[in-house]
Amino acid sequence: MWCPLSNRDIEESFDEFVDGYTFPNEDFGGDFRQARKALDAQLQNYNRMVLDARIEMIRRWLAAEFGLHLGVFRGYGLYNYKDHAPLYAYNDTNRQELGCLYVGGNEGTVFIQINGKGCQHVFSGTSPEHLHKWFTHIGVVKLARLDLCVDDFDGVFTVEHAYSDFKNDAFYRGRGRRIDSKKGYKYTIGDEESLKIGSRKSLLYWRIYNKALELGLDLIWNRSEAELKDVSVDILLDIRGYFTGLCDYAAQLNPAEPRKINPFRPSLSDTRKALSSFDSEVKWLRTQCSKSSLPFCMFWAATWTYLSKP
């Protein structure tokens, strides 16, 4: 069900719930508590209708752009949201959960979570470039988290190979501090084969592991997984290029031309950061230097006026 959702459809959906709604004007005989109680009830009813209208718009948007069906709300919240509902694929009789929609966050925000199976379903009907257009349209400039992985079925990029590359500094990104060669990783060989580099709180966290051993399968399957945080949405324009541009180790996994996370053309997030930095520097200059610089400027202004006289 990949039908476009026009602005007119969105307006009609919103008007269907809240247009023409008026608060009742009742006489409570001067009883302030009863009047306040009735008003609070009406406000809650109105806010619920507005929330239902917004959920309806999100439901149509998810169905039209991503092919996701919004299930029934479960009546309790998670991650500081008041309620949540599962997301399924259309025409899926097994009802496999592909993610969740969380509503009722701070300032009326919502949170859409799509798992690995859900991403596979979404990208079967759309492209990363199309998703990038939607993100920039609604003002999203950064992704809180993005996981990228490459699977090896030939036994080339094993855990031992990744550990050897780590010792040869192949995971260094070319800027910032290097990962501590003694404490910045966890190397395990035995019942589990894995190499974890960095911290889960850092902007880049690597996990190279034996996927077949983890699942108990009798085959060759090694996975190199990079967990990125606070990354620009521009990465959707060239996922392979940005992945290979992470470090020398990533460049071995894919033949795409490497690109850095910050491309030559500044992204919208970089522009906002530059403006914010400029504003903060101007504010600091006014606060710290205005008193000391004023006499200096007045002295040079007077001197220039004196020297410029004929």
**In this predicted structure, which of 30-39, 42-51, 218-227, 255-264 has the lowest mean pLDDT?**
255-264
> Sorting pLDDT into bands at 50, 70 and 90, what band is 298?
low
**Beta carbons of 164 and 208 less than 8 angstroms apart:** no
**In this predicted structure, which of 150-159, 196-205, 275-284, 293-302 has the lowest mean pLDDT?**
275-284
CA atoms within 13 A on the CB side of 164: 6
Name which of 83, 75, 129 is nearest 105 in CA terms.
Answer: 83
Confidence check: pLDDT of 272 > 60: no
pLDDT in tens, 151-176: 999 999 999 999 999 988 888 887 76
C-beta neighbour count of 43 within 10 angstroms: 11
Q: DSSP string of the chain?
A: ------HHHHHHHHHHHHTT--------TT-HHHHHHHHHHHHHHHHHHHHHHHHHHHHHHHHHHH-EEE----S---TT-SEEEEEEETT-TT----EEEEE--GGG--EEEE-HHHHHHHHTTS-HHHHHHHHHHTT--EEEEEEEEEEESSSSS-HHHHHHHHHTTTT--SSSPPPPTTTSEEEE-SSS-EEEES-TTSSEEEEEEEHHHHHT-SS--EEEEEEEEEEEGGGGG-HHHHHHTS-HHHHHH--SPP--SS-SSPPHHHHHHHHHHHHHHHHHHHHHHHHHHHHHHHHHHHHHHHHH--
Give the pLDDT of residue 212: 92
> Sorting pLDDT into bands at 50, 70 and 90, what band is 7?
low
Q: What is the mean pLDDT of residues 279-305?
A: 54
Confidence check: pLDDT of 48 > 60: yes
Give the pLDDT of residue 303: 53
**Beta carbons of 109 and 131 less than 8 angstroms apart:** no
pLDDT in tens, 188-244: 887 789 999 988 888 889 999 999 998 998 999 999 999 998 888 888 988 888 888
Give the pLDDT of residue 4: 40
